[in-house]
Each structure stands twice: as C-alpha cells, then as structure tokens.
Amino acid sequence: MEAKIPLTVVTLAKNESSRIAACLASVEWAAERLVIDDNSTDDTVAIATRCGARVLTRAMENEGRHRNWAHTQASNEWILSLDADEHVSPELADELRALFRSTPAFETYAIPRRTYLGKRWIRYGGWYPSGQMKLFKRSVLKWEEASVHPRALAAVAWGTLQKDILHYSYRDLQDYLAKLNRHTTLEAQKWVTDKRRMPMGKAFWRAFDRFFRAYVMKKGYRDGFLGFSLAWMGGAYQLLSYGKYLEFTQNAHESAR
C-alpha cells in the first residue's frame, strides 16, 4: 500500500450530509482528514466520522477567522483546503503524490478549479481555470479575517499545479440564486463594518464592468445562455450588495436617532 501523503485536508462543513462523503473519499490518500463542523443539524458529523475523518465542532462567526482557526488544529504543517462541495480529481491526486515524493519547491500552491452548475462545467467567463490558493504550509499563509471571500495572505512565492479540483458548487440555478442572495448580504455587511464609502455611481460602474469583463473579455458568451446568465448575475451581485448596503446604513442611522 502506498504511503499517505503528509498533509492534512481541512474541510469546513455545515449541513453537508449529501456531499461530505464524496469529498472525503476523494482524499483518502491524505495522512489526515479534518472536518470543522459548524453545528450541523443533519448527519454531516456522523457521516464524516464514519468516513474516517477527525471532526471538530465550532460555530463560524467570520469565514477568514474560522479558516485560520481550523488550520491551527491540523496535525501536519502542509494543508490542503478543500470545501465540502469540492473533490480532488484522480489526476490531481497523482500530481500531489509526485510533488511530495521530494521536497516541494514552493511553500504555497494555487490549484485550478473546475466549477459545475448542475452537470454543466462552466468553462468561460473567468470561471476556469480560476486558480485557488489551496495547498500551503500553515506557517506561511493566513486568511484575511473577512466574513465573505477572504483573501489568502502569504508573503512568499507560490507555485501552480496543473490538474483540477472539481467544484460542484451549484446544484442548479435556484441554488446559485440562493447563494447569491446570502453572499450579497454578507458583502453589504462587510462594507458597513469596514466603513467603506460606496457611491451609487461606483456601484453601477462595478456592475457593468463585472458583466463586460465576464461576458466579453473572458468569453462568457461561449457558454451560451448560461454564460450570459452568469455574467449578468455577476453584475447583479454588485447592485444587490449596494441595495442592501443602503438599507443597512439607513437602518443604522434611524437606530442612532
């Protein structure tokens, strides 16, 4: 039997009973699989434990802070950050085995991510390869303590792997819209917390710019109507965030009176 790869796969989960087993099965070759459960009310914990993962429970109050805490719980210096809706492809698993047969040349690595909406691979519009900082030494990388889309912060050179993580992010368009609604709320709250000034003109410009870059410059049109829909909703993300930002700031002003 081939030796385990000396890294910890860290997975954040909440109510992921339908997906956690497949995620963990794709990384059975890891020396440790660690699941950080955000007080799931379904069978996520039982399934993850049955799959052989170590499970810790902690409520998520801030995504970046939560990720930083999770990585300190790992038994290994090397971390592979893998969300519950992601799988490591067999080709990437082979690439990782080859990488760790000797000393890796870098301390952080970006990995391309192939995102699906239902069974459809979203190839254009900036969705692929969309490299994500997924493999790193925990001592050299921290996450921005932001509630949504935290940035990876590392003051070292990074490498890029060639094979893909498979990202089954959205079950269908309805699921996409539900996540869009949730993330725009968090985005607007972040703007308020950071005391960020967001004029209406800037919001409209960002919406247009996001649509144009995704649909035209990054060739989202090659994904047909789906590509148009995703580019349009990418622009709508900015406008919805702005609308919620106005609502939050207005409510705050009225409460202060």
Residues 136 and 160 in one domain: yes
CA torsion sign for 37, 55, 131, 60 is: positive
User: Do residues 164 and 181 both lie within one domain?
Assistant: no
Q: Is the pLDDT of residue 257 over 80?
A: no
Same domain flag for 133 and 229? no
Same domain, 221 and 146: no
Number of domains into which the chain is organized = 2
Q: How does pLDDT run across 79-135, given as a tens digit for each residue? A: 999 999 999 999 999 999 999 999 999 999 999 999 999 999 999 999 999 999 999
Contacts of 133 (CB under 8 A, 6+ apart): 108, 109, 110, 141, 152, 154, 158
Are 110 and 60 contained in the same domain? yes
Cα–Cα distance measured from residue 171 to residue 141, given in angstroms and rounded to the nearest whole number: 31
pTM of this structure: 0.89
- Percent of the chain, pLDDT > 70? 99
Residue 238 has pLDDT above 80, yes or no: yes
Instruction: Note whether 45 and 127 are same-domain residues.
Output: yes
Q: Looking at residue 147, what is its pLDDT? A: 78
CA distances, 232 to each of 140, 142, 180 (Å): 37, 32, 12
| Tens of pLDDT, residues 181-234 | 999 999 999 899 888 889 999 999 999 999 999 999 999 999 999 999 999 999
Q: Of the candidates 117, 135, 170, which is a domain's last residue? A: 170
Q: Are residues 25 and 133 in the same domain?
A: yes
- The continuous run of DSSP H or E covering 183 comes out as helix 173-193
